[in-house]
Structure 1
Amino acid sequence: MARYGMFIDTKKCVGCYACRVTCQMQNELPVEISYIHFHEQETGIFPNVRNEIIPVQCQHCEDAPCETVCPTKATYTTEDGIVLMDEDKCIGCKYCVVACPYGARTQDHHTGVINKCRFCADLVAEGKQPSCVSTCISDARIFGDLDDPNSEVSKAIVKHNAQPLRPDLGKSKIYYAR
């Protein structure tokens, strides 16, 4: 069984928001709700300064704190490591929102249901890539099996010495080259 994850190269990300827009379209989200948000960070010393754009979404943590606190077990992890939500079980208590250290949870203000990035599990089940990966104009995202050392995602993580955004918070399944 695969253990899915993602590599994001912030040096390639141009901040075009194509990943965010396609995610909203794929998940039929209203314009005010997004599963991907962006942090901008200025790095370097003048005159050699660069603006780093860091796309952030659910990190699909190994021991997801959002799953641990969910009183109805609406948040769960699949065999292939994707953290998903069962919208029918969600009571909108927001425990998962508070537990997520990445701010990756959103609430549908019409239904009260909390949701997040799904790694496009439906597309992945069909052998396709998540929409944010297939739409990225700068090829800053790679998705695949983290347990396969020959997969493109595993090779990119090793090549770029990619790290989770917050390694101090435990093991996430999104690795960043910065």
Structure 2
Amino acid sequence: MTKYGMAIDTNRCTGCNMCSMSCRVDHNLPNDVLYSKAVTDGSEYFRVPTGTYPNDLTMTFYTMACQHCDNPSCVEVCPTGAAYKREEDGIVLIDNEKCIGCKSCVAACPYEGVRTLLSSEPTYPLDFQIGDYRAQEHKPNTMEKCTFCVERIDSGERPLCIDLCPAVARYFGDLDDPESEISKVLQQREYDQLLTDQGTGPNVYFLR
């Protein structure tokens, strides 16, 4: 049994959004769709520091995306069974053959902005398809979100954002394996998780 998780080092992350852009290209995402994005901690605006000028300013980034929870509220409320959690590795996915775009998962999920409902006629930045041919096709009026690059994982690869992060700020692996890279870094570092009081059991960690 495997339990995949991700960790982002907030001391190394520069908010460059390479993770978001590489994901967008690799999954041929429609316009106005992002599976993840960098957010400035504690600030309403991106790249605006918090604190008091001149000696107490800080600017820390974290990446907002699906948390691939142990107890995903989206799965519990989905009326068609489109939202589901894979038994073999804990990845939370959406079956777009079953999704009816009802937004029940959006209402139930405590993490804002991690899902996007595709329009009836999604448009694309280019007039030809790009990215990984293994990635899921985009269907109108269905919900989409981060998949941990499940098509790459099923081929023995890592999520693309892990491989392309220029700051080497991201870790991925089996949380149930004490010898995995992510397990070792979580043993050595302090970290935060988002909205743990909601009982979802998020599997994304933000290293301090």
TM-score (norm 1): 0.95
Q: Which whole-Å CA distance do the structure 1 matches of 2:162 and 2:57 have between them?
A: 28
Q: How big is each residue's C-alpha offset from its partner over 1:11-52, in whole Å with a ceiling of 9 and x where there is no partner?
A: 111111110011111211024110102221245555142211
* CA deviation after TM superposition for structure 1 residue 164, in Å: 1.2
Segments of structure 1 that go 5 or more residues without pairing to the other structure are none
Deviations 1:106-128 (A, max 9, x none): 11113110011000011011111
> Is the contact between residue 24 and residue 31 of structure 1 (CA under 8 Å) also seen in structure 2?
no
Q: 1:86 aligns with which of 75, 95, 98?
A: 95
Aligned AA (1:106): T
Give structure 1 regions of 4+ aligned residues with deviation exceeding 6 angstroms. none
Q: Which residue of structure 1 aligns with residue 70 of structure 2?
A: 62
1:106 aligns with one of 106, 113, 116: 116
What is the count of residue pairs matched by the alignment? 178
Partner of 2:186: 157
Query: Which residue in 1 is equivalent to 2:205?
Result: 175
Residues of 2 paired with 1:78 and 1:137: CA distance?
30
TM-score, normalised by the number of residues in structure 2: 0.81
The answer to whether the 8 A contact 2:115-2:144 is kept is: yes
Q: CA deviation at 1:175?
A: 0.7
Alpha-carbon distance between aligned partners in 1 of 2:183 and 2:173, rounded to the nearest angstrom: 8
Task: Mark the runs of 5 or more structure 2 residues left unpaired by the alignment.
Answer: 42-48, 122-139
Find the residue that maps to 1:98 and give its secondary structure: helix
Structure with larger Rg: 2
Opposite residue 146 of structure 2, the aligned amino acid is: C
